[in-house]
Structure 1
Amino acid sequence: MKVVKIAYPQQLPVFGGQPLVLAMGFFDGVHRGHQQVLQQAADLAHQKQVPLAVLTYDHHPALVYQKLDGDAGRYLTLWERKQELLAQQGVDQIYQINYNFAFQAQTPQQFVDRFLLPLHPIAVVAGFDHTYGTNQADMDHLESYSHQQFSVVKVGQASLGGAKISSTDIRQSLAMGKLTLVNQALGYQFETTGTVIHGFARGRKLGFPTANIQHSELQRLPAEGVYVVQIAVNGRWYQGMASIGRNTTFGDHNPITVEINILDFNQNIYGNQVQIRWLQKLRDNVKYQGEAALIEQLKLDKIATINYFK
């Protein structure tokens, strides 16, 4: 898959003359709503026998016009994972724009003239609520800005149980540990990537050794709690139970860690890059009165994890 990065205004895009179908959006999560946009674009590209391209941004546009605190600047999918998901949807080319103030300050007509028309799209596809340009023009006006040089496809709202599917709502569900809702809205199991690092080895002393996972600070994670997961080590998937929390049984001021007890596993994997699929929340974190009580709970968690996979 071809990826072209554009830093406007230092780098004005110069494209070839090959026609294509273009899908627009930030696509955080590449959820089922995004998939509907991409599927319609892919179908059209197949019919016209042209490549499918995506126009997207390197970070959330809100970073330019408002201060984002806490988890607001974190993402469901980091750039590498987003590329994988877009490729799975049949995307041939990605144009990633650095979303800065100069780019945001363009009028809708300037955006169309500078970034859409040079791509030679025969059709531009986006969600019904997609906006562009300094005054956030909507999809209803895109055809007039295009001077009818390409067709416009506005994809309707995707819903789950009568509620709109959106990246914002998925982030909120993730922050509450509602993985069933998260995975239903995504259309796949929420996945993160991290590196195995050294921890305090408390799990090993308790009889439940854990892999401590370091994630990118930009990666959004589920709420604190205990989860059923799958973890990929050296290309092979294993069953496991994960804890996100502060290990309050051992003190009230510990940092938040991500620890995974991998079932039926005994390998030294320090430094390995691993993938984690987050499947279901088992329970909230609890501060136990001593190690014995914690061990008994971990035994119950293991039984629940095994039963989940059964």
Structure 2
Amino acid sequence: MRVVRIDNIENMQSMEIPSLVMALGYFDGVHLGHQKVIGEAKKIAGELGLKTGVMTFDPHPSLVLSKEKKQIGLITSLETKIAEMEKLGVDYLFIVHFTKEFAGLHPQSFVDQYLVDLNVKHVVCGFDYTYGMKAAGTSETLALHGRERFGTTIISKETFEGEKVSSTLIRSYINAGDMEKVPKLLGRFYTNHGKVIHGDKRGRTIGFPTANVKTGDEEIIPPQGVYAVKVNVGEKWYNGVCNVGTKPTFHPGKTVQSVEAHIFEFNQDIYDQIITIEWHMRIRSEKKFNGIQELVEQIERDKQTAIAYFANL
């Protein structure tokens, strides 16, 4: 897969791009609805003998357009999104630098400059796709602005339990800790990546050593609690439990949240390594215990709950 970053219109003029079927969207999560759009683009590309392209944006439009300049929690970082696109067999991934100037483009200018000039012969998007200044361009106006220079295919709404499959719905499940629903919309378990850093090393003194993980700021972290997780170290996956919280038993006044994974049957030194946490099930909320023994007993129960969960997975 070729990744093409587009910073401005001039940046595009020297590109040699083959004829494309282009899937349009922000694609946060690359969820089942997104996969349907990209799958249809691939199917049409195969029928027409063309390459498959996907156009996305960075940063998230909310970071540029909202007054608070606050980015919503992402389901996929840009790096994860790129990796998922490659798994789907995309030939070209175009990452447009999202700016106020880009957001202010007239819908016709967006079509002329970012589709026609990129040699797009067919466009695929979801029914709710918008483009151009004030989102004036919609899936229904693409054919009008295309002026018969490319074909269009609009993908209808995907639903789950009566609701539209969307990044917003997936975020709501993650933020609620309802991790078992997420794969039904995402098509895979939710993951976070992070570097293993030094912590207070108290876990090893009570028989449950943990990897203290520094995750990226832009991705969503599930809410405080204990979870059954899988952890990828190197090329191998391990079962484990992960605590998200402030460790109130030891730090009653602490407000800074940490992510600590206890990996089953694992004793390697992995400081400074990047690992992946795959979230499966929320076991319980975080709580303050009356002493270390009470905490140890609860962690052992959490471990047995996770072992039973994975045995039945």
TM-score range, shorter chain: over 0.9
Q: State the distance in 2 between where 1:121 and 1:14 align.
A: 16
* 1:15/1:118 contact within 8 Å kept: no
- For the structure 1 residues 301 and 187, does the alpha-carbon distance in structure 2 shift closer, same or farther, using more than 3 Å as the test? same
* 1:108/1:135 contact within 8 Å kept: no
1:144 corresponds to which residue? 144
1:267-304 superposed Cα distances (whole Å, 9 cap, x missing partner): 11111111111111111111111111111100100110
Q: State the distance in 1 between where 2:34 and 2:68 align.
A: 23
1:47 corresponds to which residue? 47
Q: State the distance in 2 between where 1:28 and 1:13 align.
A: 28
Alignment of 1:110-259 (within 5 A): 110-136=109-135, 137-254=137-254, 255-259=256-260
Unaligned runs of 5+ in 1: none
1:277 corresponds to which residue? 278
1:7 corresponds to which residue? 7
* 2:63/2:69 contact within 8 Å kept: no
Give the length in aligned residue pairs: 309
Q: State the distance in 2 between where 1:209 and 1:148 align.
A: 63
* 1:20/1:50 contact within 8 Å kept: yes
Q: State the distance in 1 between where 2:200 and 2:184 align.
A: 35
Counterpart AA for 1:173 = Y
Counterpart AA for 1:277 = E
1:142-175 superposed Cα distances (whole Å, 9 cap, x missing partner): 1010111101111111111221111011111101
Partner secondary structure for residue 199 of structure 1:
coil
Q: State the distance in 1 between where 2:166 and 2:298 align.
A: 36
Percent identical pairs in the alignment equals 35
1:92-150 superposed Cα distances (whole Å, 9 cap, x missing partner): 11111110011011100010111110111121011110100003111101101011110
Q: State the distance in 2 between where 1:102 and 1:172 align.
A: 31
* 2:9/2:113 contact within 8 Å kept: no
- 1:202 Cα deviation from its structure 2 partner: 1.5
1:103 corresponds to which residue? 102
1:82 corresponds to which residue? 81
Unaligned runs of 5+ in 2: none
- 1:6 Cα deviation from its structure 2 partner: 1.1
Q: State the distance in 2 between where 1:15 and 1:107 align.
A: 23
Counterpart AA for 2:187 = G
Partner secondary structure for residue 196 of structure 2:
strand
Q: State the distance in 1 between where 2:67 and 2:77 align.
A: 20
TM-score by length of 1: 0.96
Q: State the distance in 2 between where 1:206 and 1:10 align.
A: 60
- 1:217 Cα deviation from its structure 2 partner: 1.0
Partner secondary structure for residue 5 of structure 1:
strand
Q: State the distance in 2 between where 1:17 and 1:89 align.
A: 20
- 1:186 Cα deviation from its structure 2 partner: 0.3
Counterpart AA for 1:184 = K
Q: State the distance in 1 between where 2:108 and 2:223 align.
A: 42
* 1:13/1:115 contact within 8 Å kept: no
1:65 corresponds to which residue? 65
Q: State the distance in 2 between where 1:9 and 1:64 align.
A: 19
2:269 corresponds to which residue? 268
Name segments (4+ residues, structure 1) moved above 6 Å.
Answer: none
- For the structure 1 residues 97 and 186, does the alpha-carbon distance in structure 2 shift closer, same or farther, using more than 3 Å as the test? same
- 1:193 Cα deviation from its structure 2 partner: 1.1
- 1:24 Cα deviation from its structure 2 partner: 0.6
* 2:195/2:214 contact within 8 Å kept: yes
- 1:68 Cα deviation from its structure 2 partner: 4.7
* 2:194/2:274 contact within 8 Å kept: yes
Q: State the distance in 1 between where 2:29 and 2:194 align.
A: 17
Q: State the distance in 2 between where 1:85 and 1:14 align.
A: 28
- For the structure 1 residues 234 and 280, does the alpha-carbon distance in structure 2 shift closer, same or farther, using more than 3 Å as the test? same
Counterpart AA for 1:219 = E
* 2:53/2:94 contact within 8 Å kept: yes
Q: State the distance in 2 between where 1:270 and 1:64 align.
A: 35
TM-score by length of 2: 0.95
Q: State the distance in 2 between where 1:109 and 1:274 align.
A: 44
- 1:18 Cα deviation from its structure 2 partner: 2.1
What is the CA RMSD across the aligned residues, in angstroms? 1.4
Partner secondary structure for residue 303 of structure 1:
helix
Partner secondary structure for residue 214 of structure 1:
strand
Partner secondary structure for residue 170 of structure 2:
helix
